[in-house]
Amino acid sequence: MARPREFDPEEAMDKAMRLFWDVGYEDASLSELLATMEITKGSFYKAFQDKHSIYLAALDRYDETVISETVRYLSDRNLGSGRTRILGLFGKVAELARRDGDRMGCLLCNALVDKAAEGGETEAKLQAMVLRLENGLFRALMERAGADEVLSRETARGLLSIYLGLRVLGRAGLSAAMAGDCIRQVERLLADPRA
């Protein structure tokens, strides 16, 4: 072994992820990446292979942090009933929207639209993340007494769509106005415990 790194790879990755999150794949030029990651080209290409690789890695990181945290929240029985936690999730989005308009949106959602470089690998990652969210919602729904599996699956997918739609609206600064109203609709979908 020899000279150790002068930067924290995780920290740099995190900054890269946030840039991709904010501006997407193509708009995140290499020089912009280097600037926000605060490393130089040499370090970049040595630590991460190339732009596309770090994008994939950024998606993984999003999965491991934000998505995982969300799923964990949805399945944490200490936070109340499944219904409460689902409403809590949407409440968080609403709060985000109230604060800064949620202009960054959701990286998963942005990437779904971006389809950047859209190798099959990217798409598979995105699909897996979507499924994890859907299942998180589904399991929270299934906790309720008398819950029906088929109906809960349908409801989970409806809630997922509302969630993604809301985050999309955030990109244009519209979710602040929408979030509250959407939560009302979430409540209505949660009204029937079977679903």
Partner DNA sequence: TCAGTTAGGAACCGAATGGTACCGAATTTT
Partner DNA sequence: AAAATTCGGTACCATTCGGTTCCTAACTGA
Site string for DNA, 47-66 (x = CB under 7 A): x--xxx--------------
Decide if residue 57 touches its own copies (CB under 8 A).
no
Which token pair is 63? Answer: 């999965």
Select 6 or 188, whichever has its Cβ closest to DNA. Answer: 6
Q: List the single partner that 120 binds among DNA, its own copies, none, CB under 5 to 8 Å by kind.
A: none
Decide if residue 178 touches DNA (CB under 7 A).
no
**Residue reference for tokens 């040595």:** 46
Interacting span for its own copies (CB under 8 A) from 8-16, 41-49, 66-74, 169-177: 169-177
Decide if residue 46 touches DNA (CB under 7 A).
yes
Residue 140, Cβ density class (10 Å: 0-12 exposed, 13-18 middle, ≥19 buried)? buried
Select 56 or 89, whichever has its Cβ closest to DNA. Answer: 56
Decide if residue 73 touches DNA (CB under 7 A).
no
Which token pair is 152? Answer: 């809960």
Closest among 125, 145, 159 to 55, alpha carbons compared: 125
Q: List the single partner that 52 binds among DNA, its own copies, none, CB under 5 to 8 Å by kind.
A: DNA
Among 15, 23, 24, 43, binds DNA (CB under 7 A): 43
Select 47 or 130, whichever has its Cβ closest to DNA. Answer: 47
Which token pair is 27? Answer: 């708009």
Q: Which residues contact 14 (CB under 8 A, 6 or more apart)?
A: 61
Decide if residue 87 touches its own copies (CB under 8 A).
no
Distance CA 134, CA 29 (A): 32
Q: Which residues contact 179 (CB under 8 A, 6 or more apart)?
A: 90, 93, 94, 97, 98, 166
Distance CA 136, CA 132 (A): 6
Among 39, 86, 93, 156, binds DNA (CB under 7 A): 39
Q: Which residues bind DNA (CB under 7 A)?
A: 1-7, 26, 28-32, 39-43, 45-47, 50-52
